[in-house]
Amino acid sequence: MAHTYVEVQQAVAAIREKTARVPRVGIILGSGLGSLADELEDATVIPYEAIPGFPRSTVYGHRGELAIGLLGGTPVVVMRGRFHFYEGYDMHQVTLPVRVMHALGCTTLIATNAAGGLRADWPVGELMCITDHIFMPGLAGHNPLRGANDDRLGVRFPPMLNAYTPELRALAQRVARAQGVTLQEGVYIMVAGPSFETGAELRMCQRLGADVVGMSTAPEVIVAAHAGMQVLAISLVTNQALPDGTPANHEEVMEAGAAARPRFGGLLKGIVAAL
């Protein structure tokens, strides 16, 4: 069932009971990156279970909290852990927080994720600014906009060209250069998971033109674009997803996230401060 305006407003009302702060930027933190939210100033932390309609995050490394506060002086709302299609939630449940972020006042979404690198020349720890995506579950019918459309939330047939805002990508590159951080650019392909890909599937992803592969982000970006938000998304390569490489595991994803946290966190803080 598609989101309803009432459903979104119920979640907003519950959050408003906890804080009157109006965030400008919504941030989704992927696997191993949730501790960045600990750096918020004057933060209000709300467990997901206290927000109507929010599912519970069941993945290790996702803390399941919404934090609203200041990051570099900018009012933000941060998801400490996202929801995934593979957890059994439908795409409407996965993307409800983005609707709520927008209704709270956010005009910009910054999404991060842990991803498998499909390029042998990109080592673990590489950062990639997403220029575009291939949404495999969406192409198979699991689009978060499926169902009745509420014009108060967005238009029926939203365009997805430049869903990843070019101006924000340019800003991210400027901040990265100033910090001495290498920020690659490329295409993210989303698969449903939770099993990691077979060798044949990885070869398919490479031939389709993808640079990294993951199990999130695309549905949230579609809903953000539907709502008229500007979008920036950055992937952290936490494992090399090569057809002839070593099998992936969630532990190495978490370890890579922890190792990259200072560099990735510094980049995100710099981007938010420059908005």
Give catalytic residue positions. 31, 62, 84, 86-87, 114, 215-216, 239, 250
Rounded-to-10 torsion of CA 169, 170, 174, 179: 10
**Backbone phi and psi for residue 29, each to the nearest 5 degrees, phi listed first:** -100, 125
Q: Look at strands 65-71 and 74-80 and give their pairing.
A: antiparallel
- Residue appearing with tokens 């978060």: 144
Residue whose C-alpha is closest to residue 126's, from 118, 134, 136, 135: 118
Quote the CA–CA distance of 35 and 198 in Å, as a whole number.
Answer: 31
Quote the CA–CA distance of 258 and 161 in Å, as a whole number.
Answer: 33
**Cα four-point dihedral sign 243, 245, 251, 256:** negative
How is residue 154 written in tokens? 């967005």
Residue 80 β-bridge partners:
29, 65
Residues 129, 183 contacting (CB under 8 angstroms): yes
